Structure 1
């Protein structure tokens, strides 16, 4: 199995690319594998997190030599982010890309939950994925109303489009979005990588929605993006709180770089587009050298062997694949969950009800109204159930009937 610590990679002084090299051809907007698009969106979020983390590290670092090293690596990471994100075709509308973002959130988080060895962390991913699943359903209805296009053409039946935990019920008191962090001294290395991956993906979704939402003219579109962008803020809080805050800057830096190696390697194994695969391969070679640099900094600054916090070899590759069976099981067993403190309950509690009242003020939110409007225009809601009826026949699709 591949171990990035055993490889040299592309030397750091050879990693800066020309503008011509950065100007990559985008994927085919019609014929590209939906999961190729998902891998692109995921790696964009991972690279954005790498850049933002490096900036925060630099702002808390007093050593000029370390700041210089971070700046050099960060510039290359920023170039990698541009290459990855520019693989998306310019012809795709923000709403079409939004459908793809939610497919990422559903199938990446579901896959992570299936692999996660820690029961508490696993529950955190299972809880979150039912909410992103419902976001996909709400945006799919908006997509048909605004663009007269069907989400099935975007997700290609790999991911079902139907109600999850109703979006209106995702609005909770901020304190109830905090989870217990894993213990860095005992957590499995894969658990640390999972938490960082899902956090970065949700962070990018939050950033995307809060920037593209006001670009729409339709009031229902603007309102739906605003509502779900706030829920994505909750999700980032939910996932980032899983990370042990006792991890040092150096440990976090090494974990970030290792995780990038892990994901580029994973996606390189699965990628069906030769052009995109060549980019994953090139970036993996670059990340290997960036990881080596991070490991050297950790040794110098902490006198600690980075291998002590990393797996002996890369874990089982991350895969994008359908997760219909898992999602249907979760719909049947966890649809009624909400959070209380760092745990989960099945009944609404005082803080939850108070937050709902403060936000709704007796009015239905956009996530409910988009379904009502779709029914008014088309006679029914938009949903794609590839394997029979919804597993919870009594599930109401909006909070006003829940």
Structure 2
């Protein structure tokens, strides 16, 4: 039977508070954990951070003291959840190893969402971003080989290929071309709303991670590469957030956030291979069911509608981390030259793109290109992990 979170009973909010010992979870084994377990952790960390951030913004614009107090109580629990999730990552992993895991999560999460997205316009938006995430993985993998002398394959587990995508230096666009047309909240399928919020949350967390992690390196090329890609991640957050209908009320957005958390925790309960991590997903799902119930009450009170009018009657099939090699290769062969123009897409460069890159590059080679040259010098060749034959778009990419 399909799982309807609106009909399920969760843990009462008064019973959700945990002590430090309970939050101090044992991290996954960096050498033996499934790479997709790491991806699920990274994804749920982004989902929880977005939930916390949205709740803060909602509270700052809410004049009702009682509602602000309720938001604060739920938000405190969300913050505990975020720490329990994020602390599952192993402390012995380097910043760069975590970065590669972030990009693997971005590639395979976005690929899965694109494959499942019913709306052609939204699907194109995810396909577009996917080829850029894919290229970032390639750039960081070469930095990893160069400064830590290890192959990225030991981290991605042969599940995700590592090779050039849409070259990062071509990803610097006029900011207004990152703004997409939003979906129509009254006509779009509930699944599409969940997809948009999921990808936005994950991308926003990636941006925040790079903004903070980039200066931690001493190597100039590492600092430069993080700076360049962090700026591209800003473009991506703009790209994805603009897909969400700004006409949704604050209470509808709160409802969507809580429903999406239930959706993802339930998905990962269904697909997680690590029993100990699955226990965390199960506990948090039980908590989120109560958060959803509270959000539904606010939605009924302030929007005067029933949640069934805007939410799916039951959860869609679970979000699944799985190899997407053939799908990515097909996009590389057919959409590598795609770029944005206004709210649409074109397959040829526009003169304003060149002007933008001239200013950003300052007449120098982009760090994302320089890191490949530097690794060839240090390692004798660039790093790639191709498991399905030659690169579909040839060796011209990334040069």
Give the TM-score normalised by the residue count of structure 1: 0.98
Q: Residue in 1 aligned with 2:197?
A: 196
- 1:20 to partner: Cα distance: 1.1
- 1:378 to partner: Cα distance: 1.6
Q: Superposition pairs for residues 156-305 of structure 1, below 5 Å?
A: 156-305=157-306
Contact 2:165 2:397 in 1 (8 A): no
Distance in 1 of aligned mates of 2:354 and 2:302? 48
Aligned length: 398
- 1:396 to partner: Cα distance: 2.7
Q: Residue in 1 aligned with 2:64?
A: 63
Distance in 2 of aligned mates of 1:33 and 1:392? 30
Distance in 2 of aligned mates of 1:344 and 1:307? 34
- 1:394 to partner: Cα distance: 5.1
State yes or no: 1:31 paired with 2:56: no
Deviations 1:120-144 (A, max 9, x none): 0000000000000000000000001
State yes or no: 1:324 paired with 2:325: yes
Q: Residue in 2 aligned with 1:140?
A: 141
State yes or no: 1:15 paired with 2:25: no
Q: Residue in 1 aligned with 2:357?
A: 356
Give the TM-score normalised by the residue count of structure 2: 0.99
Note the aligned Cα RMSD (angstroms): 0.6
Unaligned runs of 5+ in 2: none
Deviations 1:309-333 (A, max 9, x none): 0001000100000000100000000
Distance in 1 of aligned mates of 2:213 and 2:67? 35
Distance in 1 of aligned mates of 2:155 and 2:239? 28
- 1:302 to partner: Cα distance: 1.6
Distance in 2 of aligned mates of 1:192 and 1:286? 22
Q: Superposition pairs for residues 368-387 of structure 1, below 5 Å?
A: 368-387=369-388
Q: Residue in 1 aligned with 2:128?
A: 127
Distance in 1 of aligned mates of 2:307 and 2:255? 7
Distance in 2 of aligned mates of 1:79 and 1:394? 47
Unaligned runs of 5+ in 1: none
Deviations 1:131-170 (A, max 9, x none): 0000000000000111111100000000000000000000
Distance in 2 of aligned mates of 1:119 and 1:338? 16
Deviations 1:261-314 (A, max 9, x none): 000000010101111000000000000000000000111112111111000100
Distance in 1 of aligned mates of 2:84 and 2:379? 40
Deviations 1:203-227 (A, max 9, x none): 0000000101000000000000000
Deviations 1:335-370 (A, max 9, x none): 001110011111111221110111112210100000
